[in-house]
Amino acid sequence: MIKIKVKAIIITLLSFISLSLTAQEFNLAVSMKGDLVQGQPFTVSYVLTGGRGGDFAPPTFKGFSVSGPSSRSEYKNINGKSYQSYSLVYTLVPLKPGSASISPASIRVGNKRLRAEGRKFSILAPRQGSQESGTPFVNAEIPKDTFYTGEVIPLEYRLYVPYPYQKKGQRITLAPKYEGFFIENSSLYYSEELMIDGIRYTAYIIDRKYLYPHQSGQLTIPSITINYNLVHKDDRFGFFGSGGKAYTNQSKERVITILPLPAPEPISFTGGVGDFSFEWETDDTDISTDDVFKVRLKIQGNGDLKSIKAPSLNLETDSFEVFPPKVIGEDRNEYRNGTLLSLRVYEYLISPLKAGAYKVPVDVCFFSPDSMDYINSPELSIQLNITQGDGLQFTNLPDQEESVEKKSSIQSLESYSFSGDQSKKSWLYHWSFWLILALPLGLTGGLWFNDRYEREYAEINKQRERTSKALQKADQEIAKLCNQEAASDTERFNMLNNIAYDYISDKYGKGSTIRNIQSSALLLEQAGLEADSIKKLRTQLEENEMLAFGMPARDEFETYSKKLLDILKTLD
């Protein structure tokens, strides 16, 4: 099939975000923002996204005490596609005031080597009593104070807790009311560490929403009240075995200005406020007048897509019949910088009425708050070649007299008696007619039911066979892997973990495929396996991942293979 795509990228930033997350990248992430303080620990992570790596060249840490690394893997879903990231995490503690540094690190991915740049840090001396002088507080945080009607407002309520305490539990006692806004809840919650006036805080996202103002003027971001407990980081049970010390905090209200959209609105304005990209596509461009074809409009951007009306198609009514569009797909992705990227797909059904060469255009206009103006998308169109179809031929239609003759013959057949004589009793009322009618229907239904039963039973048998032979298959694959000399140890450790994932999928997955440590542990917990066995498996898989990154092995590969197989046997 021919597939035509016409792309109109309006904002370069949107495409950069999407592409940067799907490409192979190797970066250094630091848990603390700003200057560091002597004696206060933090973490650094080397994150590989979009591929599997090996031969990790670790950095040199100057001015820190170092523990680790530990490994971590994470799945991300971007526009319906899954990408996995791998991290090596070090815990660092600054040793003395002054300067400290981390040298560059690198890792091999395929036939190229990716490099993470180093970092330099300023280390501050701890202030006298600074660890106890900080007090917890709550803030309502938005990126600016002036917005347009319909513009998305990312709102975060943050609880700031001073080091060395941690939040334990929370309850929003006074839920805010958002007057003048439409609300969309967020599913992205996280915490981060940062320095404020020389004091180290942990910022917890306690509530996160996207607000869409539907009226202009002065609107209020309401306050929020939260109850929670604080515990010392080294006291997992809280003060004196209790749940910690109870606190209540309330954020301040914030007044923001909502501007109306400029008048007059263009005729082609679809209602979108934000920055958007558009994609216009169809499956085929050579069709006939007998066909009904589909065209799809994909809209992606950081505004409220639900407020965008489906654009009308500028087609001649005597050449095309256009059916009302419908939404066939929606998706969204959230990012820590407050960006919310949403996707909506409209599908149009079109029936061509005349042959010829046509252009199917769509005109889209939206309002960009950054440009403070209406923006028309570049021309989106698809060129179609319409040929004349065969159509339905209504020729030699019978006249009224011929129809009467046929009707008469049909009536004579209906009055024919099964006994062979021309009795008044119709065959339709005879038991033999219904028996002959029921036999093929019953036979067809019985065959259909038997076929469906055999298919379902065969699938159940296949699943039982996979489950019963899962350990045997894993044993054979591990033995084969140990004898595979051509592969490097880095590749073999990756393959070793994949064997474990295949075992878990076959044994407990019920048709699903597992490919990371977190999903494996969760599936085993749901299956009711012992926590100690799950922990041993998780520890071994994490160690294998670190070895796949290029960390030096303490034992031979066969030793690690035997350990993993023994753990799988305990699970079986």
Query: How many angstroms separate the first and last alpha carbons of the chain?
Result: 47
Q: What is the pLDDT of residue 147?
A: 92
- Examine the domain organization and report whether 41 and 84 are in the same domain: yes
Q: What is the pLDDT of residue 256?
A: 92
Q: Which pair of structure tokens corresponds to residue 86?
A: 């791998």
Distance CA 491, CA 496 (A): 9
Please state, in angstroms and as integers, the Cα–Cα distance from residue 64 to each residue in 31, 90, 92, following that order: 15, 11, 6
Mean pLDDT value of segment 265-289: 83
Tell me the pTM. 0.49
- Examine the domain organization and report whether 104 and 161 are in the same domain: no
The residue that leads in pLDDT, 454 or 151, is 151
Which residue, 227, 225, 248, 229, is CA-closest to 140?
225
- Examine the domain organization and report whether 76 and 90 are in the same domain: yes
- Examine the domain organization and report whether 35 and 112 are in the same domain: yes
CB 253 within 8 A of CB 225: no
Residue 29 lies in a domain: yes
Q: Determine which of 398-407, 419-428, 532-541 has the lowest per-residue pLDDT on average.
A: 398-407
CATH at 66: 2.60.40.740
Owner of token pair 């840090």 = 121
The residue that leads in pLDDT, 340 or 429, is 340
- Does residue 219 carry a pLDDT above 90? yes
Q: Determine which of 22-26, 215-219, 319-323 has the lowest per-residue pLDDT on average.
A: 22-26
- Examine the domain organization and report whether 161 and 175 are in the same domain: yes
Give the percent of the chain with pLDDT over 70: 77
Q: What is the DSSP letter of 283?
A: S
| Last residue in a domain, options 225, 259, 293 | 259
Q: What is the pLDDT of residue 572?
A: 73
Q: What is the pLDDT of residue 242?
A: 53
The residue that leads in pLDDT, 391 or 562, is 562
Q: What is the pLDDT of residue 220?
A: 92
Question: At 398, is the pLDDT very low, low, confident or very high (cuts 50, 70, 90)?
Answer: very low
- Does residue 403 carry a pLDDT above 60? no
- Does residue 412 carry a pLDDT above 60? no
- Examine the domain organization and report whether 120 and 135 are in the same domain: no
Residue 419 lies in a domain: no
Mean pLDDT value of segment 11-27: 50
- Examine the domain organization and report whether 296 and 378 are in the same domain: yes
The residue that leads in pLDDT, 551 or 477, is 477
CB 183 within 8 A of CB 211: yes
- Examine the domain organization and report whether 113 and 46 are in the same domain: yes
Q: What is the pLDDT of residue 456?
A: 64
Q: What is the pLDDT of residue 103?
A: 92
CATH at 162: 2.60.40
- Examine the domain organization and report whether 143 and 117 are in the same domain: no
| Last residue in a domain, options 230, 259, 288 | 259
- Does residue 476 carry a pLDDT above 50? yes
- Examine the domain organization and report whether 220 and 280 are in the same domain: no
Chain segment 131-155, per-residue pLDDT in tens: 445 788 998 888 888 999 999 998 9
Q: What is the pLDDT of residue 19?
A: 37
Question: At 463, is the pLDDT very low, low, confident or very high (cuts 50, 70, 90)?
Answer: low
| Last residue in a domain, options 97, 124, 151 | 124
- Examine the domain organization and report whether 76 and 172 are in the same domain: no
Residue type, 375: I
Residue 155 lies in a domain: yes
Q: What is the pLDDT of residue 148?
A: 92
- Does residue 266 carry a pLDDT above 80? yes
Distance CA 507, CA 391 (A): 56
Q: Determine which of 98-102, 138-142, 529-533 has the lowest per-residue pLDDT on average.
A: 529-533
- Examine the domain organization and report whether 502 and 556 are in the same domain: yes
The parent domain of residue 222 ranges over: 130-259
Give the count of domains, the chain: 4
CB 87 within 8 A of CB 56: no
Helices 517-526 + 531-548 axis angle, to 10: 170
Residue 339 lies in a domain: yes
The residue that leads in pLDDT, 287 or 454, is 287
The string of DSSP codes covering 401-424 is: HHHHHHHHHHHHHHT--TTSS--S
- Does residue 404 carry a pLDDT above 50? no
Residue 473 lies in a domain: yes
Distance CA 367, CA 257 (A): 18
Mean pLDDT value of segment 37-60: 80
CATH at 498: 1.20.120
Mean pLDDT value of segment 500-512: 78
Please state, in angstroms and as integers, the Cα–Cα distance from residue 339 to each residue in 45, 335, 342, following that order: 23, 5, 10
Q: Determine which of 354-368, 430-444, 496-510, 533-547 has the lowest per-residue pLDDT on average.
A: 430-444
Q: What is the pLDDT of residue 130?
A: 40
Q: What is the mean pLDDT of the chain?
A: 76
Helix, strand, coil percentages, rounded to 5, for the chain? 25, 40, 35
Question: At 217, is the pLDDT very low, low, confident or very high (cuts 50, 70, 90)?
Answer: very high
